[in-house]
Amino acid sequence: MAERIFSIGYALASKKQQSFIQDSLVSLAYSRGIDLVRIDMERPLVDQGPLDCILHKLYGDDWKRQLEEFKVKYPNVIILDSPDAIGRLHNRISMLQVVSELKIEHQNESFGIPKQIVIYDKETLFDRQAWESLKFPVIAKPLVADGSAKSHKMALVFNHDGLNKLKPPIVLQEFVNHGGVIFKVYVVGEYVKCVKRKSLPDVSEEKLEVSEALLSFSQVSNLANNERIDDKYYKLMHLDDTEMPPHSFITDIARGLRRAMKLNLFNFDVIRDARFGNRYLIIDINYFPGYAKMPCYEAVLTDFFCDIMSLKEEVVKSNDEKDGPEKIGFDKRQVHICDKEMRKIVSNTCCSDGDEGGLPVSPLSREEKENSIQV
Ligand SMILES: O=P(O)(O)O[C@@H]1[C@@H](OP(=O)(O)O)[C@H](OP(=O)(O)O)[C@H](O)[C@H](OP(=O)(O)O)[C@H]1OP(=O)(O)O
Ligand SMILES: Nc1ncnc2c1ncn2[C@@H]1O[C@H](COP(=O)(O)OP(=O)(O)O)[C@@H](O)[C@H]1O
Ligand SMILES: [Mg+2]
Ligand SMILES: [Mg+2]
Give residue 237's pLDDT. Answer: 62
Gap from CA of 35 to ligand 1 centroid (Å): 25
Is residue 231's pLDDT more than 50?
yes
CB of 66 closer than 6 angstroms to any ligand 2 atom: no
Task: Please name which of 47, 33, 29, 36 lies closest in space to residue 11, comparing C-alpha atoms.
Answer: 36
Burial class (CB in 10 A: 0-12, 13-18, 19+), 359: middle
Confidence check: pLDDT of 1 > 60: no
Out of 182, 221, 286, 288, mutate this one to test ligand 1's pocket (max ligand atoms within 8 Å of CB): namely 286
Question: Does pTM surpass 0.90?
Answer: no
Span 315-321, average pLDDT:
81
Which residue positions form the known binding site?
Answer: 16, 57, 92, 141, 152, 173-184, 199, 269, 284, 286, 290
Q: Rounded CA gap, 40 and 50, in Å?
A: 14
**Which among 307, 306, 188 has a CA at the least distance from the CA of 254?**
188
In degrees, rounded to 5, the angle at the alpha carbon of residue 75 between the alpha carbons of residues 69 and 77 is 90
Structural domain boundaries in the chain:
1-90+178-200+226-375
| ipTM rounded to 2 decimals | 0.94
pLDDT above 90 for 300: yes
DSSP string covering 123-187, please? HHHT-HHHHTT--SSEEEEESB-SSSSGGGEEEEE-SGGGGGG--SSEEEEE----TTEEEEEEE
Could you tell me if the CB of 211 is within 6 A of ligand 2? no
Give the pLDDT score at 100: 93
What is d(CA 24, CA 14) in angstroms, rounded to the nearest whole number? 18
Residue 12 CA: which ligand 1 atom is closest?
31
Q: If you ran DSSP here, which 8-state letter would residue 361 be given?
A: P
| Mean pLDDT within 95-101 | 96
Reply yes or no on whether the pLDDT at 362 is more than 70: no
Residue, of 314 and 371, whose pLDDT is higher? 314
Pick the residue whose CA is nearest to atom 22 on ligand 2.
152
Amino acid in the structure at residue 257: L
Q: What is the mean pLDDT of residues 33-60?
A: 97
Q: Return the pLDDT at 133.
A: 86
Mutate to test the pocket of ligand 2, among 113, 154, 217 (most ligand atoms within 8 A of CB): 154
Q: How confident is the model at residue 369 (pLDDT cuts 50, 70, 90)?
A: very low
266 against 366, higher pLDDT: 266
* The pLDDT of residue 6 is above 50: yes
Better-predicted residue by pLDDT, 152 or 333: 152
Task: Show Cβ contacts of residue 314 under 8 Å, excluding neighbours closer than 6 positions.
Answer: none
